Amino acid sequence: MDDIDCAAERVEAFTAVALKAVLTRMDGPTSTGICKACGCTIEAVRIKANPQARHCRECADELEQESRRARLCGPR
């Protein structure tokens, strides 16, 4: 088996795991409409786009920035 075959198998396995995670999340409970971080109401447009949303746009942006920073710089 050469490197290309191994890489293709890894990509296929990763895709299967990622797809399963997304489908599991979609089957989860719908959002309460209240942000878990700040307690404010989650925007209706956000709930319509993602019925499982747990955070308002501002808190979701902050969490994404923290996550990106941790991936690039490591945990603080």
> Mean per-residue pLDDT for 42-66?
93
Q: Residue 26: what residue type?
A: M
User: What pTM does this model have?
Assistant: 0.58
- Residue 5: pLDDT above 90? no
Rounded Cα distance between 30 and 52, Å, is 5
What Cα–Cα distance (Å) separates residue 48 from each residue in 37, 44, 62, 69? Answer: 20, 6, 21, 29
Alpha helices in the chain (DSSP H): 3-26, 44-49, 57-73
Q: Residue 30: what residue type?
A: T
pLDDT, one tens digit per residue, over 18-53 is: 888 877 766 667 788 999 999 999 999 999 998 889
